[in-house]
Amino acid sequence: MDIPRIFNITESAHRIHNPFTPEKLATLGAALRLEKGTRVLDLGSGSGEMLCTWARDYGIIGTGIDMSQLFTEQAKLRAKELGVADKVNFIHGDAAGYVSDEKVGVAACVGASWIAGGVAGTVELLARSLRTGGIILIGEPYWRQFPPTEEVARECHASSISDFLLLPELIASFGSLGCDIVEMVLADQDGWDRYEAAQWLTMRRWLEANPGDELAEEVRAKLSSEPARYAAYTREYLGWGVFALMTR
């Protein structure tokens, strides 16, 4: 079981697989006023940077589930590196339908809401692991400005304009899911650059090391086209943020 190999190539050097910087992750942890010993569940935990740094900085106890074997291995190494291997546990697996045995204070899905079929399904899934008064975290894109055409939406790697909402609409939508939005931290374009532009050097180096690989042609094409596509579309049209919710 694994995610498509292309992501394990292009994001192999990422610690954070979304447009957040380390500073934004720390800001989010502080914004949540995490108490020492709080249990945090993270579905689609990637390379584990959120749980590992929050364990180090705020004393949380974390469980992460991710379908990428590579990212999960990197998460375990990172936990050792930060001296928090006794506080965080990373499981390689499918997070679809995952509910924790023990209730948690924070249940998160940061940039992987397809795991439960979208925002509504993910909020519902996370709520099943949450203790009373706990916080749901959801990381999600939104349109900074509406794409003028469906073609532009596709250039942003959306399947359609209707995939995402404008920020005020996204915020309002949490109310219709029965939640209060109680905090948010938004990425900015510098953060998008860290997420997207960091893939270019990774791709270039991977190509040099793996010229005969079956994905070499695809990676070559991506490296040639992605920088200009990103600058023209994703960077201009897509926002991203992490939203903290409490059920009403």
Stretch that binds ligand SAH, among 99-107, 108-116, 118-126, 146-154 (CB under 6 A): 108-116
Min dist. Cβ of residue 136 to ligand SAH (A): 14
CB of 114 to ligand SAH, least distance (A): 7
CB of 5 to ligand SAH, least distance (A): 11
Q: In the range 114-133, which residues lie near ligand SAH by CB under 6 A? A: 115
| 104-110 and 39-43 beta bridge pairing | parallel
Q: By CB under 6 A, how many residues form the interface with ligand SAH?
A: 20
CB of 107 to ligand SAH, least distance (A): 13
Q: Candidates 45-53, 160-168, 171-179, 211-219 — which segment interacts with ligand SAH by CB under 6 A?
A: 45-53
Instruction: Return the residue of 10, 38, 63, 68 that touches ligand SAH, per CB under 6 A.
Output: 68
User: Please, which residue, 8 or 189, has the CB nearer to ligand SAH?
Assistant: 8
- Please, what is the minimum distance in Å from the beta carbon of residue 108 to ligand SAH? 8
Instruction: Map tokens 């004393």 to a residue.
Output: 59
Handedness of CA 169, 170, 172, 178 (dihedral sign): positive
Kindly tell me which of 45 and 122 has the beta carbon lying closer to ligand SAH: 45
- What φ, ψ does residue 9 adopt, rounded to 5°? -85, -55
Neighbours of 79 (CB within 10 A): 23
Q: Is 149 strand, coil or helix? A: coil
Tokens 């959801």 identify what position?
138
Binding to ligand SAH by residue 112, rule CB under 6 A? yes
170 binds ligand SAH (CB under 6 A): no
Binding mask 7-26 for ligand SAH (x = CB under 6 A): ---------xxx--------
Whole-angstrom Cα distance, residue 70 to residue 202?
15
Strand 39-43: give its sheet, edge to edge.
Answer: 88-92, 61-66, 39-43, 104-110, 130-143, 238-247, 179-186
Q: Is 110 in the site for ligand SAH (CB under 6 A)?
A: yes
- CB of 229 within 8 A of CB of 125? no
Burial class (CB in 10 A: 0-12, 13-18, 19+), 28: buried
Residues at the interface with ligand SAH (CB under 6 A): 3, 16-18, 44-46, 49, 65-68, 71, 94-96, 110-112, 115
